[in-house]
Structure 1
Amino acid sequence: MALAAFLIALLYPQSPGKAFISGFLAVFLLWGILATMMDARNDHILATRMANLILKSSSPGMMVVITAVLGGIVGALSALSASVLRYKKTA
């Protein structure tokens, strides 16, 4: 995901702020949808157990959101890095 966000931001010129937001939203949505689909396939067993272990509550939805946010941050920082690299190269 990070490599894809980096390459897309490198190929399409954007300001660093827009690259950060677009990288975050793209990976957040994709990662969240994939995590939700995988969680629904196993009847929320793993997400519930992980929520009990980490959050001390049985909220599988919160684990999906946390996973999506962490993926979004990785995508955002990767896209931001590419945008800043491209900005420095052209300036």
Structure 2
Amino acid sequence: MSRRLLLAALLLLPSGAYAEDLPVAVYRERLVAIDARLQSGDWVGARTAARDLLDDKVVDGRDVLAPDPSVLRPLAEAPTARAARSAGARVA
């Protein structure tokens, strides 16, 4: 693989640069917003929000935590509305 092609491929990879450091209160608000999207039938929006939240970090004082993938990943990877609703039951 040429150097240019490798560099181009690396640029297309997801980057941690887009992640946010969220206070615990904001993390909770995002979870509530995901649940509200599911309740309103917007499973695609809830799935997208779960994917975005997985990239973020939760800051609690000096502690930096990762969002719980066992809760968010099933929703983030849900292929259908039914799967999203089922996965979303753990978010609420």
Normalised TM-score (structure 1): 0.29
Looking at secondary structure, tell me which structure has more strand per residue: 2
Normalised TM-score (structure 2): 0.29
Looking at secondary structure, tell me which structure has more helix per residue: 1
